[in-house]
C-alpha cells in the first residue's frame, strides 16, 4: 500500500487537463446514459422470493462493461450464505497500479429493490424514461447510476490521456438491497484482491440538485420485532371483552411508550455523541420529505442532529388482523417490526439491550402484565469520517471543480451497514461516500429517478479524482 493523495484543498490538475477530461465526459455522456438505460431494463432483485436469473444476467452485463474498458482481470464471484444457499453475484475487476501509485476501490451495487405497488408508478419500472431532465426507472439512481459513474469516470480519464497510473478496482455488489448477507465473508476471502488505499462508495446522495455532498456520517441500525400476547386463543369480544385488553390495543400502548411527548426516542441509554455543524432548513426538510402542512415536526435539538446524530425509531410493519377479515373477537397476539437508527458513536449491541430493557420496564404497568414478545433482528454500526485527510480533501476539490459550487460535508440519516465491514477489514484505507441521488430521487419508492445534470457532474468529479490520485 502506498501513502495516498498527499494533496491540499486544491485540485492538482492544470486547466488543460481538466478541460480534456471534461470534454471526454461530455462526449461520452449520451452513450453513458444509454448504457444506464440498458442496465435499468434488467430486473435484478436479490431477495429469495424473486427469480434469480435476472440477477445473474445483471452481474454478467456489468462484467462485460468493465471488460469493454480494457480491464482484463474481471470475474463474477458468488459466496454462500449461512444456510448454504448462494448469495448475490458480485463483480470484481482490477487494473493494477503502476509502481508507487495508490489504488482506488470503486464500490456500487447492481441489485435493486422490488418495484412495490406498480399502480403508483407513472412509467414502467424497468423501462428507463427521460423526462424534464430526469431519468425514471427502478435502479436509475440507486444504484445503477453509481456503477455508471465509476465506469464512465474511468473511461473519461483514459480517453483524455490523463491516466496517472492509479490502480482501480471495481467492486460491484449483487445483494446490497437484501442486506449484504455474504459481504463480510466476501471481503475476508478476497481481501488481497480488494485491498486499496481509498474506497469510494457511490451509494449516497447530494445535498440538493446542483449542490454536491460528501457524506461524513451514517446512522447505525438496530431492528427487530416487538409484540404482546394476552390470550392462548381468540375469544368473543362481547362475552369476554372489558376485563382484558386485546393484543392490538396493548401493542398500541407499547408503541406509544417508545417516544416522549415531544417525539424524542424514550428508550434510556441512547445518548447522542456527535453534533452537526450544518443547518437543515425546516422548509427544505418539509419539502424533501413531503410532510403535510398540518404536521408538527417531532423531537428536540437541531433538525440536522435529529436526522443524523440522534436516535430515530420507526414502526415499519405490524401483524394484526386485516380489516376485511376482522371478526368480533379479542385478538390474542399482535406484533410490530421496529427500525431504530443510531447516531455515530452509539453501540448497536447496547442499543438492542436497551430496547429489551425498555420492554421489561413497561410490562407490568402499561401492558397490564401481558407477555412481551421480543425478537432481535439485524444490527449495523454507524459511520463517521475525518474530512481533513488528503483523500477527502481531494474528493471535495473534485466535486467543487465538477459542480462549480462549494460541496457540502453532510451526515445522512440512512444506514449502510457494510461500511463498518469495510472499515474493519481495511483499516488503513480511507472511505469516501458519494452518490448521485437528490431529495427528489425517491430511492426505494415508486417513480425513482436520477437528475441527469448531477449525474454528469458526478462522473466528471470522479474522473478528476482518478486523474489526480496518482500525482
| Exposed / middle / buried, residue 431 (Cβ in 10 Å: 0-12, 13-18, 19+) | buried
- Report how far residue 19's alpha carbon sits from residue 57's, in angstroms, rounded to the nearest whole number: 37
Instruction: Give the burial string for 392-424 (b: 16+ CB within 10 Å, else e).
Output: bbbbbbbbbbbbeeebbbbbbbbbbbbbbbbbe
- Report how far residue 299's alpha carbon sits from residue 307's, in angstroms, rounded to the nearest whole number: 10
The closest alpha carbon to 265, from 351, 379, 361, belongs to 351
Q: Are 436 and 450 in contact (CB under 8 A)?
A: yes
Which grid cell sits at 359? 420492554
341's enclosing H/E stretch is: strand 333-342
Query: Which strand ranges, in their side-by-side order, compose the sheet holding 449-451?
Result: 129-131, 134-136, 449-451
Name the residues annotated as catalytic: 111, 176
Q: Give the β-pairing of 134-136 and 449-451.
A: antiparallel
- Report how far residue 267's alpha carbon sits from residue 260's, in angstroms, rounded to the nearest whole number: 9
> How far is residue 99 CA from its own chain's centroid?
34
Residue 197 vs residues 1, 165, 335, 339, 469: alpha-carbon distances, Å: 6, 14, 46, 33, 10
Q: How many Cβ atoms are within 10 Å of 355's Cβ, its own excluded?
A: 22
Q: What is the DSSP letter of 119?
A: G
Which grid cell sits at 305? 442532529
398's enclosing H/E stretch is: helix 390-403
| Exposed / middle / buried, residue 54 (Cβ in 10 Å: 0-12, 13-18, 19+) | middle
SS3 state of residue 61: helix
- Report how far residue 186's alpha carbon sits from residue 415's, in angstroms, rounded to the nearest whole number: 20
Phi, psi dihedrals of residue 189, rounded to the nearest 5°? -75, -30
- Report how far residue 91's alpha carbon sits from residue 140's, in angstroms, rounded to the nearest whole number: 19
Question: Nearest 5 degrees, angle CA 381-CA 385-CA 391?
Answer: 135
- Report how far residue 450's alpha carbon sits from residue 149's, in angstroms, rounded to the nearest whole number: 12
Amino acid at each position: 500500500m502506498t501513502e495516498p493523495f498527499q494533496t491540499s484543498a486544491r485540485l492538482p490538475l492544470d486547466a488543460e487537463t481538466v478541460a480534456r477530461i471534461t470534454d471526454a465526459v461530455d462526449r461520452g455522456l449520451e452513450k453513458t446514459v444509454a448504457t444506464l438505460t440498458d442496465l435499468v431494463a434488467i430486473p435484478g432483485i436479490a431477495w429469495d422470493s424473486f427469480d434469480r436469473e435476472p440477477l445473474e444476467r445483471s452481474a454478467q452485463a456489468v462484467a462485460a462493461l468493465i471488460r469493454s474498458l480494457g480491464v482484463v482481470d474481471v470475474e463474477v464471484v458468488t459466496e454462500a450464505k449461512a444456510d448454504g444457499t448462494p448469495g448475490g453475484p458480485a463483480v470484481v475487476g482490477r487494473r493494477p497500479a503502476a509502481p508507487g501509485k495508490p489504488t482506488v476501490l470503486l464500490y456500487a451495487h447492481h441489485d435493486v429493490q422490488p418495484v412495490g405497488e406498480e399502480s403508483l408508478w407513472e412509467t414502467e419500472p424497468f423501462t428507463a424514461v427521460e423526462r424534464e431532465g430526469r431519468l425514471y426507472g427502478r435502479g436509475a439512481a440507486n444504484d445503477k447510476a453509481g456503477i455508471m459513474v465509476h465506469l464512465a469516470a474511468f473511461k473519461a480519464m483514459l480517453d483524455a490521456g490523463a491516466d496517472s497510473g492509479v490502480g482501480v478496482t471495481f467492486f460491484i455488489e449483487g445483494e446490497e438491497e437484501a442486506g449484504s448477507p455474504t459481504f463480510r465473508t466476501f471481503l475476508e476471502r478476497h481481501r488481497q484482491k480488494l485491498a486499496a488505499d481509498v474506497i469510494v462508495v457511490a451509494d449516497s446522495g447530494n445535498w440538493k440538485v446542483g449542490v454536491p455532498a460528501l457524506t461524513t456520517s451514517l446512522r447505525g441500525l438496530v431492528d427487530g420485532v416487538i409484540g404482546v400476547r394476552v390470550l392462548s386463543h381468540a375469544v368473543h369480544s362481547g362475552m369476554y371483552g372489558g376485563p382484558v385488553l386485546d393484543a392490538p390495543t396493548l401493542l398500541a400502548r407499547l408503541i406509544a411508550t417508545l417516544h416522549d411527548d415531544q417525539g424524542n426516542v424514550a428508550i434510556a441509554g441512547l445518548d447522542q455523541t456527535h453534533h452537526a455543524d450544518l443547518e437543515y432548513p425546516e422548509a427544505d426538510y418539509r419539502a424533501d420529505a413531503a410532510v403535510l402542512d398540518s404536521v408538527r415536526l417531532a423531537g428536540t435539538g437541531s433538525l440536522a442532529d435529529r436526522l443524523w446524530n440522534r436516535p430515530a425509531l420507526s414502526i415499519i410493519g405490524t401483524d394484526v388482523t386485516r380489516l376485511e377479515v376482522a371478526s368480533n373477537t379479542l385478538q390474542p397476539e399482535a406484533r410490530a417490526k421496529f427500525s431504530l437508527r443510531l447516531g455515530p458513536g452509539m453501540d448497536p449491541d447496547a442499543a438492542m439491550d436497551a430496547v429489551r430493557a425498555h420492554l421489561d420496564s413497561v410490562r407490568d404497568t402499561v401492558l397490564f402484565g401481558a407477555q412481551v414478545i421480543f425478537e432481535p433482528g439485524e444490527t449495523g454500526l454507524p459511520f463517521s469520517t475525518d474530512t481533513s485527510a488528503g483523500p477527502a480533501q481531494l474528493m471535495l476539490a473534485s466535486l467543487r471543480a465538477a459542480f462549480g459550487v462549494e460541496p457540502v460535508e453532510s451526515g445522512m440519516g440512512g444506514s449502510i451497514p457494510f461500511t463498518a465491514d469495510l472499515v474493519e477489514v481495511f483499516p488503513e484505507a480511507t472511505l469516501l461516500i458519494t452518490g448521485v441521488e437528490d431529495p427528489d430521487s425517491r430511492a426505494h419508492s415508486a417513480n425513482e429517478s436520477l437528475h441527469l445534470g448531477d449525474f454528469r457532474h458526478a462522473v466528471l468529479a470522479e474522473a478528476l479524482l482518478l486523474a489526480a490520485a496518482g500525482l
